[in-house]
């Protein structure tokens, strides 16, 4: 209750726009984690990444905000800081988000902005040693080749964001006379391919994921086809650790779920639904609303 003399600046909000996603450890590897089928019952551990994806509903309008951060153990004074590997992935997504913000304006293609985010993540992973140039003379040439092969969809296998308004995933994504849904990996997950218009409210939520199923497929692929591009030359058969990531000296990438003491808990796990659909882990902030003026 609020005292009549001390009312809050913003009226209290009592409704959620959607079921909250509160995940830690390996559980952020499950998109929309925390529903009745996968209740959040895991205890937080110091140094693990916690992902909070939640939004309030106010006067029937939805919000969608996500943040990720290392857990603090206040009693023992531990945790609360990103490890080197956690920071690498976190800042890759932050770079992507900032790149999209810089280019976001009326007339911009949402599909182009999605690819801009993919390229920013690949560029950061290349600089961190997760990916290699594969014989290209420069980082930009390597990233261009990776984008042409569709490698960005392996690490960001979802759309950049979505319209938000009276519903969290609001309507209007694919309308008559607007671009159709792409069949390209990554772009096929977009909830809209429209050009951005003034007054639209959109979320900008890039993500960087390390999913065994997708990485195994990428590492085994030898065909240069749209659905099965040859990623092998771009990928070290390893994952980042808290040791220096500029050289592929890490333990082999696990074919199954990583150990529970993974240096980036949750960022390198793979979760599969009973229906066979893959769900993805998120390791960086996403979901800020952006209104164009």
Report pLDDT digits (tens) over 220-262.
Answer: 766 433 333 456 666 665 555 544 333 333 333 333 333 333 3
Q: Is the pLDDT of residue 130 over 50?
A: yes
Nearest CA among 192, 185, 193, 110 for reference residue 151 = 185
Nearest CA among 86, 118, 101 for reference residue 282 = 86
For 292, other C-beta atoms within 10 Å of its C-beta total 14
Lowest mean pLDDT segment, chosen from 19-23, 25-29, 122-126, 230-234 = 230-234
Interval 12-24 mean pLDDT: 80
**Contact of 57 with 63, CB cutoff 8 Å:** yes
Interval 148-175 mean pLDDT: 90
> What is the rounded distance in angstroms from the CA atom of residue 26 to the CA atom of residue 267?
7
Q: pTM for the full model?
A: 0.74
Q: Is the pLDDT of residue 112 over 90?
A: yes
For the chain, the maximum distance between any two Cα atoms, rounded to a whole number of angstroms, is 69
**Tens of pLDDT, residues 138-150:** 999 989 988 988 8
What's the pLDDT band for 29 if we cut at 50, 70, 90? Answer: low
The residues that bridge with 68 in the sheet, in sequence order, are 51
- Per-residue pLDDT, 181: 93
The per-residue pLDDT of the chain, averaged, comes to 75
Interval 184-197 mean pLDDT: 93
- Per-residue pLDDT, 25: 78
Q: Is the pLDDT of residue 111 over 70?
A: yes
Nearest CA among 245, 165, 145, 152 for reference residue 206 = 152
Give the side-chain half-sphere CA count within 13 A for 80: 7
> What is the rounded distance in angstroms from the CA atom of residue 142 to the CA atom of residue 135?
8
Lowest mean pLDDT segment, chosen from 55-59, 82-86, 234-238 = 234-238
Interval 196-204 mean pLDDT: 94
Domains by residue range for the chain, with CATH? 15-291 (3.90.230.10)
């Amino acid at each position: 209750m609020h005292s009549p003399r001390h009312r809050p600046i913003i009226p209290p909000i009592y409704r959620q726009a959607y079921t909250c996603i509160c995940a830690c450890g390996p559980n952020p590897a499950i998109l929309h984690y925390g529903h009745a089928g996968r209740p959040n019952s895991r205890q937080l551990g110091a140094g693990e990444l916690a992902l909070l994806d939640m939004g309030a509903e106010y006067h029937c309008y939805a919000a969608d905000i996500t943040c990720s951060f290392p857990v603090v153990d206040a009693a023992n004074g531990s945790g609360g800081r990103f490890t080197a590997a956690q920071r690498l992935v976190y800042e890759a997504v932050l770079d992507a988000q900032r790149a999209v913000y810089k280019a976001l304006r009326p007339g911009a293609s949402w599909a182009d902005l999605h690819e801009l985010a993919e390229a920013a993540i690949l560029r950061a992973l290349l600089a961190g040693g997760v990916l290699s140039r594969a014989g290209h003379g420069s980082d930009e040439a390597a990233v261009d080749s990776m984008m042409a092969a569709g490698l960005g969809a392996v690490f960001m296998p979802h759309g950049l964001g979505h319209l938000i308004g009276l519903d969290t995933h609001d309507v209007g994504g694919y309308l008559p006379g607007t671009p159709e849904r792409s069949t390209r990996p990554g772009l096929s997950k977009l909830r809209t391919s429209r050009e951005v218009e003034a007054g639209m409210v959109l979320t900008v939520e890039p993500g960087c994921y390390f999913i065994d199923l997708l990485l195994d497929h990428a590492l085994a692929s030898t065909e240069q086809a749209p659905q099965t591009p040859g990623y092998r030359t771009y990928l070290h058969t390893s994952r980042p650790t808290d040791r220096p990531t500029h050289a592929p000296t890490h333990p082999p990438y696990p074919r199954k779920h990583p150990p529970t003491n993974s240096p980036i808990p949750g960022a390198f796990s793979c979760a599969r639904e009973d229906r066979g659909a893959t769900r993805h882990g998120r390791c960086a902030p996403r979901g800020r609303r952006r209104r164009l003026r």
